[in-house]
Structure 1
Amino acid sequence: MKKGFEFLKQLSINNNREWFSEHKPQYDTIAKANKVFFNEIFSDFQESDNLANLHVFRIYNDVRFSKNKAPYKTNFGAGFSRRKPFLRGGYYIHLEPDNSFVGGGFWGPNSEDLLMIRKEFERSTTEINRITTDKTFVKYFGKLEGDDAVKTAPKGFDKNHPAIDLIKKKQFVVRRKFSDNEVFSNDFKEEIVSTFLAMRPFFDYMSDVLTTNLNGESIITD
């Protein structure tokens, strides 16, 4: 991992196609090692959850619709999705010098899922509050995050509702930061798996919200 971080540091200084082309063999070696690492995590965590797939993100930036025109990302990333339709939520690993974290959640729920989540919080926040104040959750993540939100109450919701701050959210995510030394440590892989496990109560609750009606009956059809 140290070699990978050194490469990313150099790339952040020389983020251009000429430099990257010259150092492409070095990148290919690092990318291959990263893929092995991510696959090991996928295999290890499959014993504790039902994962559908692993997606290793490309280092190439899509600059067509972005203000950031740098051709390459300065991080390595991988996503792990749970098997739908009954299991919801996705895990994410972000590796970057001085900015590494392991996170997950519901980054961009579709309109139907978002409405169901908001309706649940409108009905009661007892369960989500119990989960997010649990000592393990607080130890690993601190709090429930998600910067994207509507400015006022969503249509059909009372702006004075006690849970309006939750209801306004359009993202429901958690994140645990890691220092570079923690990333380089021998037990980093185990720490990733334990961090994923700490998300499970949150994921399992949200999965229940998104797959059952208010009577607890499944809304998933074959």
Structure 2
Amino acid sequence: MNFKDLFDFLTQLNQNNSKEWMDQNRKWYKTLRLDFIDWLNELDLTLAEVDENYYSTPGNKGINRINNNLMFHPNKPVYKDHFGAGLDKAPNTGDFYIEIGLGQSMLAGGFWRPDSKTLRSIREAIDYDGEELKRILNKKSFKDTFGNLVVDDSLIRAPKGFSQGHPHLDLLRNKTFAVMHPLAKADILQNNFKDNVIAVYQEMLPFRRYLNRAVTV
């Protein structure tokens, strides 16, 4: 995958964000999209080798549309400024997300503002065994890779059904349970980029598995 070419394309798209420009450069876009899918397919196979419970997700199933949804976000530009994809994408679980773009690039996973049923399941898992999640979050290599949970909106008090004195109140008040590893452009252009993606995937795996057990068991 020629990520330099991908960044060049996104830079020009960002400067000419219109259907007219895309129509004139659609061959370029389609070539990059197919290359990105091929790269995802290779990554998909490798992740299946390092994780025995990996849910195979071919690149054409994992890749996201580059078009913004203007029906719900009419003020956004026509096209996104990044290529994104989700792997290990089992139904009703949090996937492993890859985003390569101009505004930000990252590797992420977990649940971003899940629906009330999913959020309740995660909170019940924390109520039952929040110590396990805290052990995962406080592991030095995990903190070095991700820092803390993604900062998002949270409750001021304990959620309904949980005590204000709960020992894991700090976690229970969250509405988002996700982590993110930022990527610099220089990181992506390195020859060992794929190896770094795999390392981050493995570091994130206990966190994602904890959440996915919570919402599926």
Does residue 32 (structure 1) correspond to residue 39 (structure 2)? The answer is no
Query: Matched residue of 2:88: which SS?
Result: strand
1:99: which partner in 2?
Answer: 104
Quote the offset at 1:81 in angstroms: 3.1
Query: Matched residue of 2:62: which SS?
Result: strand
Whether the 8 Å contact between 1:98 and 1:180 is mirrored in structure 2 is no
1:45: which partner in 2?
Answer: 47
Query: Matched residue of 2:50: which SS?
Result: coil
Quote the offset at 1:70 in angstroms: 1.1
2:133: which partner in 1?
Answer: 128
Whether the 8 Å contact between 1:100 and 1:179 is mirrored in structure 2 is yes
Quote the offset at 1:39 in angstroms: 1.0
* Paired AA for residue 62 in structure 1: N
Query: Matched residue of 2:166: which SS?
Result: coil
Task: Provide structure 2 residue ranges, at least 5 long, that are not aligned to the other structure.
Answer: none
In 1, the alpha carbon distance for the partners of 2:135 and 2:204 equals: 13
**Corresponding residue to 2:8 among 6, 27, 32:** 6
- The correspondence of residues 123-202 of structure 1 with structure 2, limited to 5 A, is 123-202=128-207
**Corresponding residue to 2:211 among 201, 206, 217:** 206
**Corresponding residue to 2:22 among 20, 23, 26:** 20
In 2, the alpha carbon distance for the partners of 1:208 and 1:59 equals: 31
In 2, the alpha carbon distance for the partners of 1:108 and 1:42 equals: 26
Whether the 8 Å contact between 2:158 and 2:173 is mirrored in structure 1 is yes
In 2, the alpha carbon distance for the partners of 1:74 and 1:211 equals: 33
Quote the offset at 1:98 in angstroms: 5.3
In 2, the alpha carbon distance for the partners of 1:144 and 1:92 equals: 15
Among the aligned pairs, what percent are the same residue?
Answer: 34
Quote the offset at 1:26 in angstroms: 1.1
Quote the offset at 1:170 in angstroms: 2.1
1:219: which partner in 2?
Answer: none
1:63: which partner in 2?
Answer: 70
**How many corresponding residue pairs?**
210
* Paired AA for residue 51 in structure 1: Y
Quote the offset at 1:28 in angstroms: 1.1
In 1, the alpha carbon distance for the partners of 2:90 and 2:104 equals: 29
Whether the 8 Å contact between 2:44 and 2:56 is mirrored in structure 1 is no
Task: Provide structure 1 residue ranges, at least 5 long, that are not aligned to the other structure.
Answer: 213-222
What is the TM-score normalised by the length of structure 2?
0.87
Quote the offset at 1:47 in angstroms: 1.1
Quote the offset at 1:135 in angstroms: 1.3
Query: Matched residue of 1:161: which SS?
Result: coil
Query: Matched residue of 2:79: which SS?
Result: coil
